[in-house]
């Protein structure tokens, strides 16, 4: 091991010398160098975990909640998966079943009908196992039904949105820990005022659709924590910086106009080996959010491994390091109350479809492997919970 490390280090120095001598830092050279540094650095971490407690127990010991997103079909067709979820999680979030229309059992199959059967069964499962549930999501530019375009127009859009939120939120009133009321409303590249995304809702209702959604949700379930959820807030890049700024401004606007918003959800779809992680900047952003009186949830964490080594041991170390670095930073902020990963097991992850590896090897973004065994990422999460200050 030591020898391998030294020879990698030598490669690194040689690499550095070459880079310095040619004086030009091409992007992909820098990237591969970064991955290499990360691999060496992570080789020195032990990821040791003390005791046999589950993630659910370790989180609870600090006043935190750990949970996962899960699809109906996977939950009820794989008993091993269901058992591990019941053991390790204090919360679930239906990955599809509370969006307007995903898969073959959509929530709102026609303009006038709602089908709660799938989500109801998931909520029942969570109650049986003493877990909480999050609702995801009421307003999003994706997962809109096929009938949406021909049915919803400027005249009836407010009515459609209001009816949707009233019906769905009332159905689960008193049973939901929190709702992602609005999902992904910022997209700087769309070039709209205040960085707002050019979504169907924005086109139909203007930017007040956000306030409207929160007000209707608050009325329909005064107990649920109402969340604004977004991604791309994680790294020290100009894009993420601009998005953090736009999100802060959006939250400030909503707070100042009295919109009933209670929390920010940061999705945290991370990239393994990305050295643009800047703990201090992220920490500052979270303090700024907390200073507005908002709670924070890490809502959809996973770690992409597209560019990481083929070797599974090496790859898993880099992925675990990303979990540990991110969580040790964010859990330092007492306003963070929950951590959810976007799935439990590598067998069921949206990334195998949405961010496959170029070599087509199975992706490994989650804390459990395809056979439901704990991975190093599990250790990293456990360690971060164990080291977190108590809420
Ligand atoms: C993803 C699901 O995981 C996929 O299965 C689905 O088809 C598309 O959506 N941000 C979100 C989630 O807020 O709803 C997305 O979930 C992942 C990105």
Regarding the beta carbon of 95 and ligand 1, being less than 6 Å apart is answered: yes
Per-residue model confidence (pLDDT) at position 33 = 43
Work out the pLDDT band at 316, boundaries 50, 70, 90.
very high
Beta-bridge partner residues of 368: 345, 374
The whole-number average pLDDT for the span 189-213 is 98
Residue 105: name the closest of 90, 89, 121, 93 by CA.
Answer: 121
pLDDT class of 42 with cuts at 50, 70, 90: confident
User: Which of 141, 181, 300 to mutate to test ligand 1, by most ligand atoms within 8 A of the CB atom?
Assistant: 300
Q: Is 153 exposed, middle or buried (0-12, 13-18, 19+ CB in 10 A)?
A: exposed
Q: In ligand 1, which atom is closest to the CA atom of 183?
A: 13
Over residues 265-280, the pLDDT tens digits come to: 999 999 999 999 999 9
> Does residue 53 line the site of ligand 1, with CB under 6 A?
no
- Enumerate the β-bridge partners of residue 295: 263
Nearest CA to ligand 1 atom 14: 95
Residue 36: predicted pLDDT = 52
The residue with greater pLDDT, 28 or 160, is 160
Residue 28, pLDDT above cutoff 70: no
Q: What was the pLDDT predicted at 37?
A: 54
Residue that wins the pLDDT comparison between 24 and 216: 216
Which residue, 141, 67, 10, is CA-closest to 366? Answer: 67
If one compares 225 and 25, the residue with the highest pLDDT of the two is: 225
Strand, helix or coil at 299? strand
Q: Which pair of structure tokens corresponds to residue 120?
A: 């109801």
As a whole number, mean pLDDT of residues 203-221 equals: 98
Average pLDDT value for the chain: 92
* Ligand 1, atom 5: closest residue by C-alpha: 350
pLDDT of residue 225: 98
299 Cβ contact list (under 8 Å, min separation 6): 93, 134, 136, 180, 227, 229, 265, 266, 267, 268, 338, 340
Ligand 1 lined by 267 (C-beta under 6 Å)? yes
Cβ atoms of 23 and 48 closer than 8 Å:
no
Reduced to 3 states (helix: H, G, I; strand: E, B; else coil), residue 362 is coil
Residues 176 and 337: their CA atoms lie apart, in Å, by 15
In degrees, rounded to 5, the angle at the alpha carbon of residue 376 between the alpha carbons of residues 375 and 378 is: 70
Could you tell me if the CB of 300 is within 6 A of ligand 1? Answer: yes
Q: Which residues are known catalytic residues? A: 184, 300
Contact 373, 379 (CB under 8 A): no
Ligand 1 close to Cβ of residue 350 (< 6 A): yes
What confidence category does residue 140 fall into, taking pLDDT thresholds of 50, 70 and 90? Answer: very high
Decide: 259 and 214 in contact? Cβ < 8 Å: yes
270, 301 Cβ separation under 8 angstroms: yes
Does residue 18 surpass a pLDDT of 50? no
Res. 43 pLDDT band, cuts 50 70 90? confident
Q: Contact 384/323 with Cβ under 8 angstroms? A: yes
Burial of 174 (0-12, 13-18, 19+ CB in 10 A): exposed
pLDDT at 40: 58
Q: How confident is the model at residue 245 (pLDDT cuts 50, 70, 90)?
A: very high
Does residue 166 have a pLDDT over 60? yes
Residue 375 in this model has a pLDDT that exceeds 70: yes
* Percent of the chain predicted with pLDDT > 70: 90
Residue whose Cα lies nearest atom 1 of ligand 1: it is 350
Mean pLDDT over 85-114 rounds to: 97
Q: How many angstroms separate the CA atoms of 155 and 98, rounded?
A: 25
E strand or H helix that includes residue 244: helix 238-256
Q: Measured in angstroms, how far is the CA atom of residue 20 from the centroid of ligand 1?
A: 42
CA 300 to centroid of ligand 1, rounded, Å: 9
How close is the Cα of 157 to the center of ligand 1, in Å? Answer: 24
Give the C-alpha separation, 76 to 72, whole Å. 6
183 lines ligand 1 (CB under 6 A): yes
What's the 351 CA to ligand 1 centre distance in angstroms? 9
Question: What CATH class does 54-387 carry?
Answer: alpha beta
Mean pLDDT of 112-141: 98
């Amino acid at each position: 091991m030591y020898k391998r490390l030294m020879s990698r280090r030598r490669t690194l120095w040689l690499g550095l010398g070459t880079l310095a001598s040619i004086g030009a830092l091409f992007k992909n050279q820098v990237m591969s160098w970064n991955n290499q540094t990360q691999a060496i650095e992570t080789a020195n971490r032990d990821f040791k975990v003390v005791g046999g407690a589950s993630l659910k127990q370790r989180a609870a010991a600090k006043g935190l909640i750990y949970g996962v997103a899960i699809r109906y079909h996977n939950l009820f067709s794989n008993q091993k998966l269901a058992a591990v979820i019941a053991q390790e999680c204090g919360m679930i979030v239906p990955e599809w079943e509370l969006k307007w229309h995903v898969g073959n059992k959509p929530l709102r199959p026609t303009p006038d009908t709602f089908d709660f059967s799938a989500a109801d069964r998931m909520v029942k499962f969570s109650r049986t196992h003493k877990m909480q549930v999050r609702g995801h999501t009421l307003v999003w530019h994706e997962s809109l039904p096929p009938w949406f375009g021909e049915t919803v127009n400027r005249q009836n859009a407010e009515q459609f949105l209001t009816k949707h939120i009233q019906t769905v939120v009332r159905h689960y009133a008193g049973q939901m820990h929190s709702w992602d009321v609005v999902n992904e409303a910022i997209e700087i590249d769309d070039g709209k005022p205040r960085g707002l995304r050019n979504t169907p809702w924005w086109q139909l209702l203007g930017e007040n659709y956000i306030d409207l959604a929160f007000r209707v949700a608050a009325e329909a379930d005064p107990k649920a924590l109402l969340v604004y959820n977004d991604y791309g807030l994680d790294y020290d890049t100009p894009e993420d910086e601009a998005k953090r700024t736009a999100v802060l401004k959006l939250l400030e606007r909503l707070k100042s106009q009295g919109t009933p918003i209670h929390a920010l959800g940061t999705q945290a779809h991370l990239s393994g080996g990305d050295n643009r992680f800047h703990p201090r900047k992220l920490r500052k952003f979270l303090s700024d959010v907390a200073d507005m009186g908002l709670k924070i949830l890490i809502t959809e964490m996973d770690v992409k491994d597209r560019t990481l080594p083929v070797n599974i041991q090496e790859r898993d170390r880099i992925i675990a390091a990303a979990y540990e670095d991110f969580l040790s930073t964010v859990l330092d902020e007492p306003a963070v109350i929950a951590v959810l990963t976007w799935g439990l097991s590598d067998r069921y992850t949206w990334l195998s479809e949405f961010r496959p590896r170029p070599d087509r090897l199975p992706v490994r973004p989650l804390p459990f492997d395809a056979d439901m065994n704990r991975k190093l990422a599990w250790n990293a999460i456990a360690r971060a919970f164990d080291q977190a200050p108590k809420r």
